[in-house]
Each structure stands twice: as C-alpha cells, then as structure tokens.
Amino acid sequence: MAKSLILVAFFCSFLCDYSVLSTQVSHDGRAITIDGQRRVLFSGSIHYPRSTPEMWPDLMQKAKDGGLDAIETYVFWNAHEPQRGQYNFEGNLDLIRFIKEIQNAGLYAILRIGPYVCAEWNYGGLPAWLRQIPGLQMRTNNRPFEDEMQKFVTLIVDMIKRESLLAPQGGPIIITQIENEYGNVQGPYGNAGKEYIKWCAKLAESYQIGVPWIMCQQPDAPQPMINTCNGFYCDRFTPNNSTSPKLWTENWTGWFKAWDKPDPHRLAEDLAFSVARFFQSSGTLQNYYMYHGGTNFGRSTGGPYITTTYDYDAPLDEYGNIRQPKWGHLKNLHAVIKKMEKALTYGNAETTELENGLSVTKFFGIGVVPGCFLANKNKTDEATLDFEGTKYFLPAWSVSILPDCKQEVYNTAKVNAQTSIMVKKPNQAEAEPTSLIWSWKPEDLSKAVRGLEPDFTTNTLRDQILASVDASDYLWYITSVNVSQDQQMSLQVNTAGHILHAFVNGDLIGSEYAPNGKFSFVFEKDVILNQEINIIALLSATVGLKNYGPYYELMPAGIVGGPVKLIGNYNDTIDLSFSTWSYKVGLEGEKQQVYLDNSNSTWNKGGIFPKKVPFTWYKTTFQAPLGSDPVVVDLLGLGKGTAWVNGQSIGRYWPSYLTWSGGCSPCDYRGPFQSNSCQTGCGEPAQRWYHVPRSFLKAGEPNTLVLFEEAGGDPSQVNFQTVIVGIVCADVVEGNILILSCQGPQKISALQVASFGDPQGTCGSFQIGTCNVDSAYGIVRQACVGQATCSILVDEKTFGSSECSYLSSRRLAVQATCA
C-alpha cells in the first residue's frame, strides 16, 4: 500500500503535475460543488491559537467522527505580526501545520483570512501598531490601511499556495473569506465603506486562488464574493444573487463567556432544530461556531472582559472532550441529512405552511429519492401531523426528518445520544503533597511609584492603546503635585477602564474595576497630601481590547484625557490633566520575565507568607497528574492576575469576580434562543478552573506554576485536577441503539438505573414510570458493566414484545458511573 502510494506520487511529480490530486471547487445558486457535484457540507470552527498543536489531531478526529466535512478557522493578524514586520508562526500559531492536520484527518478547510476577525479576540485581530501609522484609518477606504492589509493577506495567500494547501493544488482549502461581518457596521462609514468592500473584493479576486471567496453578513458583496449568514437561526436568510448558494458561516453553538456573566448554554435540541430548519429552507453548507472553542491562552487572545475559557458550550469542550449529548445528537443529524444530499441539492423544494406553526417541506425530483422535513415551530404545543396517510408526533419546537418521506429517522427534540457528566478528580501524581509549597516575591513598584526611569513623558493623558501599543495589560501614569500645606483632598480619576490602582507617595490608596462591562468610571478617594511635592502614580490595567462595532479600534482605554483632579474641602480644585505625566509600560516582573524557569530572580521562601497582598508574584512546583486526561488548575482563593506553567501563559485569571446572581433558571430548549436563555453558575466565581494543556507539562519531574497576583489573593487552596467522565446516561426511544461510552480509558463501573417502559425524569434523577420491563436492568448490566463502551439495540428482540406494549412508544433510560 505504502509502496504504491510512493510510486503514484513519484509518477505524478513528473507527468501529471498533481492534477489527479486536484479538487475543483465551485458553486452555483444551490450549493458548493466539488468536482462538479453539488454537496451538503458540515463544517465546524476550531481556532488554532486556542488549543495546542498536540491537541489538533485528536480535535480533528473527533470532528470527523462527529460527521463534519470541514474545519473553519480565522487567521489572527495581531498574533502573527505582534510588531510590524516581525512574524510568528510558531507553536499554536503554526497555521500551516494546523491546515495540514485538517488534511491528514481527511477533512476540508475553510480559511477566513479577514484580517479583521471579531472572534472575541483582542482588538478583533488587528494589530495595535497600526495606530502608529500616520493617516491610517482602519477598515475603510484608506490607503495606509489597505496597504498593510494587502501585505498581510498576500503573505498568508502566498504561504498557503507555497504549501499547496488549496483544493485545486491538491490541498484541503475549499473556501476562503475576505473581511468579516462588515455589513453589520458599514453604515457609519458611508461611501468610503462601500469603496472599501469593493477594494476587498478586487484584492481577493486578484489572487486567483481557484476556490470561492465568501464575505459573511455582507448583503452588497460584489460578485463573485458570496454573501453568507451568521446567527442563531438562518432559515429566513437568502443571499442576494441567484448564483449564490445559501451558506451559514456562523451558527452559534452556544455563546462566549465574560468575567461578569454566568455560563451560557445552548441545548442540543434547539441547536439541532436550527440546523434542521436551515436545511429545510434549502441551505446547503453550515458551519458550527464554535465546534471547539478552547482557551484564551496568553494576554493577547481574549477580547474585552472575555474569560480565559472560550468553551462556548461547543460540541467539543474547552479541553477537547466530546460534549454529550450535543456532539452525538448533531452526529446523528449529520448522518440523516447526508442521506438526503441528492434530494437537498438537486431536488425541487415544496413547502406547505400549516396552522399553529406546522410546516412540511418535500425535496423531490427526477432520479432522486424524495426527502421530507416535518417542522413544528410552535414553542408551546406539541402536534400530531397527518402526512401522506401516516400520523407523526412532533414535540413543540422540533423538526422530524424522513429521508425517504415515509419513516421518521430523526427528530430534533428526541435525543438518543448519551449524556455525559464531567467531574474533576484530584491530582493523583505519586508523592504529590496535599498542599503546594509556595515561594513569593513582591512586584518591584519602587521605581514606578516614584516616577523613576519613565519610558516617556508628555503633558497630556494619553490613550492606553497608543501609549503601550498593547505590549502589556499594564500602564503607569505618574505625575507630581506641589501643595502649600499638609491637607486632605479627594483624588478624582476619570478612566475609560478597565482597572485602576492609585498610589500616592508610594502607598496604594485604592483600586477599582469597571463593573458589568461599562468600561468608563470615575475613581474617587480621599488622600492626605504633604506640604510640597506629592507623587501620584496611577496603574491602569486592561482586560482585552474592544473587538466589535463601527470604529471600535478608536474606543478609548486607560485614563485617556482624564480629567484627573484633586478637590479640596471648599471645592478648590487642582486639575492635573495637563501636568507633566510620565509613563511606564508593563510591570518590572514582566520585563524581567520572572515567570520563566531560567529567570534569575530570587524568590522568598521563609518569612511571613503574604496573603491578600496585591502585586505579589507566587511560585510553586508540582507533579503532572498521571494519565492522559485533561488537566486544570483550581485557582479559587486568588484575586486577579496572570498564570504561567513552565513559562507558558495559561491566561488571565479572576476567580474573585463573582458573576451576576440573577439570570439562572431551568433551561428549556423551546422558543427562539438568546445568549442568556440558559445559564448556570450565577453568583459564582466567573472562572475557577484553568486549562493546563498536557503538552505544557513534563512527566516525572517538577513543573512550575507562577502567578502574578494583582488584586490580593491567597494561593493556599490552589490544586491540580483532571477532568473525566463521571456519570453517563441515555434515554433511547425503541428502535434506536443505546450507546454508552466512558470516552476514554475508564470503564463503566456500576449501573444505577436501567428502565425500559416509560421512565420519567432526566439524567441524575431517572425514575421508573407506570410500566417497567423487569429484565431490563440485568440485560443492560450484563452488556455494559466492566466495558469502556457498550451498545444495545433497543427493540422487542432484546426486551420482549408484550410488556408495556400498550405504551405508544417505549423508551430505555440508563444511568451508570465510569471509573
């Protein structure tokens, strides 16, 4: 086998110029065509910087097993070009390796080059150094911006061409995107915006890459750019040109999380409903945003107030585990829709709207097996639909799919896939002490609070993005004031956020952070001033820069413009806004890279251990947990800061930020989904567990964890854990197959419930209903206990035909533990 492949490759390199390996991608008004055939395509977003190269093959395989055809990613300009002309494509920024992993898994790739990406990404992916270029205005008809954008897009296009990654070259890339969601913000840019979009389209076309270009949410996309839809539902969307197929680039599988928000969820039933409705309404390509959300490693990743976890409630969780039942319910949906591929892409669609929100769509035509969708859009009432002589039961807010228009194979509200409940297990590394041993050192504030060795000095209060060029979250603004006598005054600082720590004459007098994403606030605190010179040092910290909206890049950050004032008892005011201000970018510890293992800085071991002391660096060593399960570190007890493992950033942490306590109520999949429809974790720490990728860890030797604690915290509770499947459940309708899996090396260790009949309740609280086949428990125990995976066909042959047969449909409910 290997030999003949080599022969073919050898033969081709001389004679056929790889044309045998080449794939022709085009489109018509109906679908993307691959080698001339119209296709139904399922795609999923995975952002390469939000996982590690070691995770990529497994993520791709799980995506493929879940029934995807393609992986979609943005390209992240500010990560690749952190300084103008200095590029980084290493490690988790190795875009080429990522695309090759997609190809290795036998999947297609969709590359959204942007380079504006939104994506809850810091500054929407645009480099902050663009702001330093004279006359540059972003995302509009502006030559300096267009020049920089063209340079970067050309670099990426040249890289993928050189590596033969485009489908016509034999590579996996079938679709590329220029710009992103510009249609949503275009209004305020007026005519310049229209010109810019035309320029983008011309630029894209000029590369002649031989695959279709898309522009999402761009109703006036110039041909041949295809306008595509983003949203929770896309059934009502139509592209503007009869030659453009209906493509859905972002069907949000859940939602992102911010530091002040509870955990958002989107139930599998509703997600499946939206996908089924899209195909019912003649859609042909759909991309899950996100299929794997991942982690915002490093400070430059997450957008404004976005947590370090970017889990997104996606079919693969933050750590790369299969999220059940979402993953399995969609896998089953993909399989049934694929059965109808010919009908959906070559057939005619005939839709009949019935009363009470019911509708029927039949795809039919010469030479194709007809396929049908029966939809119940009614969000409260179930219905029984009489269709071509058969009665079909449709739960509220559900779609039934009949791939042959006769037999219901799938209903979006009937979940046959297993549910897995993940649990966290303590670190079981050998010889790991129960609590970690810490050393520490204070951040050296001595120069900053006295204004020594500034990076530069001005007599204005500058925007933090311009002043620091986003080289750090932290920027010091320092000035002095000469007063004629000792006195108490009120220090008033107007800041555009996000966090402010104020020091007067070396003492921290107060700290404040922007509440609920309202970044502008006024800090006010009484201070005692000494006669003559007083030094006021203000440390401003950002938590990810704005990423969305017209002119979002101009949204201020830091103490831009102030005013900064001292107000006396008689309203006598000293305005410091135009005093001489010194600036220092970043922390001393960041400059000295004290988080690196080879850092030469000295750490304190003895003495009084500082707890709840802001601006403290902490360091400990730990053994990597045994096995291969994903690792997290529990940072409960800490305030806010940044964490590194073996010198690699695992992101910002902020467990002291408690989320809003309202807004969590039992979730219902029925009815139009909103980002806050279904939330958990109200009033709890915004994020307590932080992902430590296995590839960051060394087995059998000590690993280092370094924390920079900005707000004051206590690391004594910090510990490492692994994430595993704890409980598996399933609730399977007769005629389907029960599959239970511990999703890893663990085995099903005990069976709590196995009831065949009409079991009640949900996973964790199943109860026997009015009828139960007594032998069910023994049958399931026999087949499953002791196994890593088991499957049972839920039918009469297994469970008998007579018992409970008066029920209209019998179900098997199972709950088991993995260990």
Could you give the CA distance from residue 304 to residue 97 in angstroms, rounded to a whole number?
A: 29
Token couple for 266: 């989107």
Interface pick for ligand NAG out of 42, 145, 232, 657 (rule CB under 6 A) = 232
Give the nearest distance from C-beta 241 to ligand NAG in angstroms. Answer: 4
CB neighbourhood size of 6 (10 A): 10
Could you give the CA distance from residue 230 to residue 216 in angstroms, rounded to a whole number?
A: 7
Question: Any contact of residue 573 with ligand NAG (CB under 6 A)?
Answer: no
Interface pick for ligand NAG out of 353, 526, 532, 572 (rule CB under 6 A) = 532
Give the nearest distance from C-beta 110 to ligand NAG in angstroms. Answer: 18
Interface pick for ligand NAG out of 26, 33, 103, 241 (rule CB under 6 A) = 241
Q: Pick between residue 240 and residue 348 the one whose CB is nearest to ligand NAG.
A: 240
Helix, coil or strand: residue 13: helix
Q: Pick between residue 491 and residue 635 the one whose CB is nearest to ligand NAG.
A: 491
Residue nearest to ligand NAG (CB): 231
Q: Pick between residue 83 and residue 223 the one whose CB is nearest to ligand NAG.
A: 223
Give the nearest distance from C-beta 236 to ligand NAG in angstroms. Answer: 8
Give the nearest distance from C-beta 330 to ligand NAG in angstroms. Answer: 19
Could you give the CA distance from residue 532 to residue 509 in angstroms, rounded to a whole number?
A: 19
Question: Any contact of residue 219 with ligand NAG (CB under 6 A)?
Answer: yes
Catalytic site residue from 148, 250, 269, 803:
250
Could you give the CA distance from residue 215 to residue 200 in angstroms, rounded to a whole number?
A: 10
Question: Any contact of residue 33 with ligand NAG (CB under 6 A)?
Answer: no
Query: How many residues contact ligand NAG, by CB under 6 A?
Result: 28
Give the nearest distance from C-beta 383 to ligand NAG in angstroms. Answer: 7
Q: Pick between residue 243 and residue 749 the one whose CB is nearest to ligand NAG.
A: 243
Question: Any contact of residue 61 with ligand NAG (CB under 6 A)?
Answer: no
Question: Any contact of residue 287 with ligand NAG (CB under 6 A)?
Answer: no
Interface pick for ligand NAG out of 191, 434, 485, 571 (rule CB under 6 A) = 571
Would you put residue 3 in left (φ > 0), alpha (ψ -120 to 50) or beta? alpha
Could you give the CA distance from residue 116 to residue 548 in angstroms, rounded to a whole number?
A: 10
CA 239 distance to own-chain centroid: 27
Give the nearest distance from C-beta 213 to ligand NAG in angstroms. Answer: 12
Stretch that binds ligand NAG, among 76-84, 222-230, 308-316, 775-783 (CB under 6 A): 222-230
- HSE at residue 94, side-chain half, CA atoms within 13 A, is 14
Question: Any contact of residue 381 with ligand NAG (CB under 6 A)?
Answer: yes
Q: Pick between residue 571 and residue 801 the one whose CB is nearest to ligand NAG.
A: 571
Give the nearest distance from C-beta 252 to ligand NAG in angstroms. Answer: 7
Question: Any contact of residue 482 with ligand NAG (CB under 6 A)?
Answer: yes
Site for ligand NAG, residues 350 to 369, rule: CB under 6 A: 356-357
Token couple for 393: 């039961």
Q: Pick between residue 358 and residue 738 the one whose CB is nearest to ligand NAG.
A: 358
CB neighbourhood size of 21 (10 A): 16
Helix, coil or strand: residue 569: coil
Give the nearest distance from C-beta 539 to ligand NAG in angstroms. Answer: 24
Question: Any contact of residue 487 with ligand NAG (CB under 6 A)?
Answer: no
Give the nearest distance from C-beta 220 to ligand NAG in angstroms. Answer: 4
Q: Is 250 an annotated catalytic residue? A: yes
Could you give the CA distance from residue 315 to residue 743 in angstroms, rounded to a whole number?
A: 14
Give the nearest distance from C-beta 282 to ligand NAG in angstroms. Answer: 16
Question: Any contact of residue 593 with ligand NAG (CB under 6 A)?
Answer: yes
Q: Exposed, middle or buried, 19 (CB in 10 Å: 0-12/13-18/19+)?
A: exposed
Would you put residue 727 in left (φ > 0), alpha (ψ -120 to 50) or beta? beta
Beta bridge partners of 44: 71, 288
Give the nearest distance from C-beta 26 to ligand NAG in angstroms. Answer: 12
Give the nearest distance from C-beta 234 to ligand NAG in angstroms. Answer: 6
Beta bridge partners of 707: 618, 643
Could you give the CA distance from residue 44 to residue 72 in angstroms, rounded to a whole number?
A: 6
Helix, coil or strand: residue 293: coil
CB neighbourhood size of 349 (10 A): 16
Interface pick for ligand NAG out of 378, 542, 687, 815 (rule CB under 6 A) = 378
Question: Any contact of residue 220 with ligand NAG (CB under 6 A)?
Answer: yes
Stretch that binds ligand NAG, among 14-22, 518-526, 536-544, 598-606 (CB under 6 A): 598-606
CB burial string 263-276: b at 16+ within 10 A, e below: bbbbbbbbbbbbbb
How does DSSP assign 739-766, residue by residue? EEE-SSS--EEEEEEEEEES-BS-TTS-
Could you give the CA distance from residue 440 to residue 606 in angstroms, rounded to a whole number?
A: 9
Give the nearest distance from C-beta 567 to ligand NAG in angstroms. Answer: 8
Stretch that binds ligand NAG, among 235-243, 282-290, 488-496, 709-717 (CB under 6 A): 235-243
The torsion angles phi and psi of 150, rounded to 5 degrees, stand at -60, -40
Using CA atoms, how far residue 119 sits from 112, 123, 293, 428, 804, in Å, is 11, 10, 10, 37, 51
Question: Any contact of residue 464 with ligand NAG (CB under 6 A)?
Answer: no
Q: Pick between residue 216 and residue 748 the one whose CB is nearest to ligand NAG.
A: 216
Which own/partner pairs from 407-410 qualify as long-range (CB within 8 Å, at least 24 positions apart)? 408/374, 409/336, 409/339, 410/332, 410/333, 410/336
Whether the CB-CB separation of 249 and 114 falls below 8 Å is answered with no
Site for ligand NAG, residues 389 to 448, rule: CB under 6 A: none
Could you give the CA distance from residue 211 to residue 52 in angstroms, rounded to a whole number?
A: 28
Reduced DSSP (H G I as helix, E B as strand, rest coil) percent helix, strand, coil of the chain, to 5 = 20, 35, 45
**CA-closest candidate to residue 769, choices 753, 781, 755:** 755
Q: Pick between residue 62 and residue 257 the one whose CB is nearest to ligand NAG.
A: 257
Question: Any contact of residue 104 with ligand NAG (CB under 6 A)?
Answer: no
Using CA atoms, how far residue 550 sits from 85, 197, 302, 363, 460, in Å, is 27, 14, 19, 41, 26
Q: Pick between residue 669 and residue 720 the one whose CB is nearest to ligand NAG.
A: 669
Stretch that binds ligand NAG, among 171-179, 374-382, 424-432, 456-464 (CB under 6 A): 374-382
Interface pick for ligand NAG out of 599, 604, 704, 775 (rule CB under 6 A) = 599
Whether the CB-CB separation of 582 and 414 falls below 8 Å is answered with no
Stretch that binds ligand NAG, among 290-298, 377-385, 471-479, 756-764 (CB under 6 A): 377-385
Could you give the CA distance from residue 706 to residue 337 in angstroms, rounded to a whole number?
A: 49
Q: Pick between residue 251 and residue 736 the one whose CB is nearest to ligand NAG.
A: 251
Question: Any contact of residue 223 with ligand NAG (CB under 6 A)?
Answer: yes
Whether the CB-CB separation of 360 and 373 falls below 8 Å is answered with yes
Q: Pick between residue 380 and residue 782 the one whose CB is nearest to ligand NAG.
A: 380
CA 417 distance to own-chain centroid: 23
Stretch that binds ligand NAG, among 47-55, 557-565, 593-601, 649-657 (CB under 6 A): 593-601
Catalytic site residue from 72, 120, 179, 181:
181
Q: Is 710 an annotated catalytic residue? A: no
Question: Any contact of residue 32 with ligand NAG (CB under 6 A)?
Answer: no
Interface pick for ligand NAG out of 240, 390, 460, 749 (rule CB under 6 A) = 240
Amino acid letter for position 387: F
Could you give the CA distance from residue 398 to residue 244 in angstroms, rounded to a whole number?
A: 28
User: In which residue are the tokens 């977003």 written?
Assistant: 45
Q: Which residues are catalytic?
A: 181, 250
- The contact set with ligand NAG (CB under 6 A) reads 217, 219-220, 223-224, 229-232, 240-241, 243, 356-357, 378, 380-381, 482, 532-533, 570-571, 593, 596, 598-600, 674
